Every structure is written in structure tokens, then in C-alpha cells.
Structure 1
């Protein structure tokens, strides 16, 4: 009956479409820099009410600390960015503790980056691991032996790159490590569907509504918008975001590759830096200790689309950063801006 109705009233021809598109607007689109400047100078509204809201949230800080100390993990939800509130919690109650911040909204963040940051920067381990499970076992055993505590902050644990089942399985195993305390945020309306009953119990979440009504400026800084004129500024911003999520040694390797490419920017026949030359320079700077370490790092760069590889006529593998000289030079002037 329903099918007959739509068949009778539908017709074979599609409905008319409008030609009113964004490209026909007389208002020129802003570039990313002008958009950010306009947002920063936008007048704030309801300041008094927002301050009162923050004060109510800050009253929970000592309670949060007590609950974290008793083996619970915190999951913060609600409308608005939670970065300011979390930074206040970190700088006051947790100012003398070991902390690590993960930005789950990064377009190329992976669970491997999180584990590598813990083992290399927190536990100061220089070796490699055969698998993620081996790395998790090492983290678990080390924290149990040393009795240290790590407060792991994950902005947007429901981010596109972290919401997969395999990633969440690793994170809930990490949540069960003695000494690791997780404070995470979610913003997607369907975020609770990420976890089944088993994962939820392993995370041992305590849920807190921390609605702030703050704009998601940092969380959406890498997003493409139809209202924004796309330019190299956005590409450079994305590059900086990705590099911030890497280890210091990884950034050092990228820095050497970028310097070499800038030195040959006027060479029209330049096809990239050979793997052997990069390895020698990295060894001189103590950035890697073996070919395998550098290979693993380059694989990570490829996953982030930071580099391209191409074999020359002699069969030598050459590495190239897919950015023009001007943009690469701008990055080298102020790498982490």
C-alpha cells in the first residue's frame, strides 16, 4: 500500500534542483588566518554566567582527585569545549604529577602514538616492541614495579581516529594498568555506543556533566569548511598539529629531512633525500640507533602523509616532503607555532 502511494505520486523525473551555490555569493570567503582573527575578536556573551558555571565545576576538583586515587577514571561530557577546565585541573590539583595529554581530534592520531609516548617520554624506554600487546605488557609491568602514577588526559576519546573497536580495546586495557589514571572527554551524541558492557566496566568510568558552552576552536582547527578559502595556511596548520603528536626524536628526523630539502630547493632535478644519507645524519644527531628504527619512523611519516617515497633510476629510495619551498621554509622558521 505504501509503495503504491509513492509510485503513484513520485513520477520518473527527479525534482528540480537549485543553482544557488556558495560560489555565487557576492561575499568573498575568508582565508583561515582571517577567520581565526575574527573568531578571537568576537565579543563574549554571558560572561558572568559562564564564570559561575566554571566555579561550580571547579568545586569538583578535589572530589575528582579522590576518585582517581581510588581507581576510577573520569569521563567528562556536555556541550562546549572542555580544554580550559581540564587545563585548570592539571595546573592546580595535578601540578606536581606526571601528566600526558592526548588530542583525540587530531586527524592522524593512532593508539601506537599514545603507547610510544608513554614508553619513550614517560618511562624513558629506548627499545622497540614486536606488537602492541608486548608494549602494553611492558607498560603494565613497569608501573607495577616502580609504583609511579601517570595522569593521562584524552581530549575527545570519541574522535574519528580513536573510536574504533581495536583502539578502544587497547585503551581499556591501558585503563586497567595500576598507576594509570585516565581523564577523558566526549562530544559526539552517540559516543556512549562505543563501549559495550565489558569495555565500560574495564574503563571504570565516572561520568560528569561539565557543560561549558565554550566554542570548539582548537578541536575544529584542522577541519575544512566550505565557508573558508583553502590555502597553504591550513595545510601548514595541519602539519604542525600532526608533528606535535609525535615524539621529539621523530620531529628531529623530520627537521633534518626538511633542512636537506630546503638546501636543494633550487635544484630542478632534486627527487628527494636518499635513505642512506638521512640515516647517517640521524645517527650523527643520535636520533636513531638502527636502520629498523628509522624505517619504523618513516612508516609513521607515510601513515601521516608527511613524506613520499620514490625510487630513482639507480634503485635508491628517495624521501620527499610534499610541500612547496615557501611553506616548508615558513615551518622551519617557527616549527611548533
Structure 2
């Protein structure tokens, strides 16, 4: 693995840019398997271009289904000459037509266009990647390698808070990263929850309040089981989490957050990449919310959201037995928001 990385570093003729320093260029190759980092990088490019010119025209193209002329049409200047951002997904499954057209495009990228190519890994498309890395098109590469080390997770979480204009203490970062060793998306959700639910600097005590005692059976595991209708499993996970020291407050918060996301996507139609701007969610959040919403009806989601809001008040002091209040909410959600 190290040898391959070293080889790329010595042969690539284009600038290598970190995901958190992503910027526009005529051609931007976003490579690697970490989808969340890729989404963050592409969003940063879009926000930068939109800040420069609000008339930015954004289009999406699936490289696996592209036909001759697709890229040329999207890159062509419009009547009023607005800047164009072309986001291309599935480059690791690109069609032969897209490969040929893009290789020609690299010879003379269109003025005012930013072409972002998302390649998640694999050998398909190597000829295109080699051309870009060799300097064709005058591009840059944003490598989104899988995040495995705690130091990288800490850097990711720190960037999330920094982007929101919030300061987080080093001790708080350590607790947060320690609590979320699995899916990077869960760490991102935890950061966003803290940003949304708190104000001022985020210290270690704040993170402890939300995530102390989080183990393999945590708020998200409870939420996943309840939303899938597995009532017995959800209650066992809940009891284990509470016995391990988990606070009912973040458990209710995790349930409420997932329910709100479900409500946004329940009746939404279309690809996640296109829905992202409309719903104010990242594509990976939309995909996860759609999975959670399977088997639910709109009325049930609405009732569950109301119940979660009431339970939030109970676990914050309105009830004498907050643990029982959470158990009632978990059972209600496991029954899809229908009376038991």
C-alpha cells in the first residue's frame, strides 16, 4: 500500500489537495473510497463557486450512463455566459463514450467550466486518471482515502466544527472520536448534533453529557433497531446502553434526528445528489434516511416526531422516570408510530 502511494506521489504532475482545502480548478479529480469526505470536498467547491458568482449553473452527470455529446453539451457556454459546475459521478464505472469524450475535453477544457470527476476506486477508468494526473486539463486531485486512524477522525471532526464557526476543546475531540470508532457518517452526525443543540465553545463536559458511556450498543444502534421495527432488540440495546452509563438525552436526540430526516425524504423522488440541494441534506444522509423510512407512513412519522419532542421534555426534567419515558418512545417508534 505504501509503495503504491509513493509511486503516485512521484509520478503525479498535478497538485494534490486535501478534502478540507478543496478548491475549484478547470478539472478536479476526487478519488478514493471515503464517500463522506468526497461529498464534503465537492460541496466546498460548489459553495466557493457560488460565492464568486450566484448565477452558477450546476449540473450532474452519471459517467456510467453517459452517451456521446453529454459532457460537451453541459460544458458549452450558455446564452448569458454563467459559470458552470459539472459534477460527474460513477467515474469508476464510466462508459466508453464518456472516456473518449473526456479525454478529448482535457485537451482544451471549456472556459468558465469546472469539471469535477468522482472516482471511488478500482482499475476502470485508469486511462482517464493517468491523463489527469499527468497534467492534461490543468487539474488538481483531491484524494479521499478511507479514514481509519484516530488522528484522521479527530482532524475530520475538528474541520466540521471549524466550518460551523465553533471552537471545540482538544479533550472534547478525544471523547467524541473515542465514542465513534465505526462509521464516519455517525461521527459527522454527532458533530452536527452538537453544533445544532449547543451554543458557544464545545468542551469535554458537553460531549460527555451527550455521549458518555457510548459503547457498541449506543444511541444510534437503539435508533436503528427501533426504526426497523425490532422492538425487543431495541429495548435490550436501550437497557444495555443505559446500564453502561449512557444518558437518555442523547438517545432521544438521536431518535428525533433520524425521524426528522425521514420526514424530509419520505415523499421525495429522484437521485440523492439532485435532492441534496432541495432538502438541505448531504446525499449520504438522504440515502440513509430513505433506508430508515422503509415501511413507514407519513402519518406515523408525524406522530413519532411529536412523541419524540414530548419525550425530550420528559428526559430533561419533566418526568420522574426518564428511562421509562425513553422505553415508551422506543416501543412507539418500533410500532411505526402506531398505537400498540
Same fold (TM over 0.5): no
- Give 1 or 2: higher helix fraction: 2
Higher-Rg member (1/2): 1
Q: TM-score, normalised by structure 1?
A: 0.32
Which structure exhibits the higher relative contact order, with contacts defined as CA atoms closer than 8 Å and separated by 6 or more residues? 1
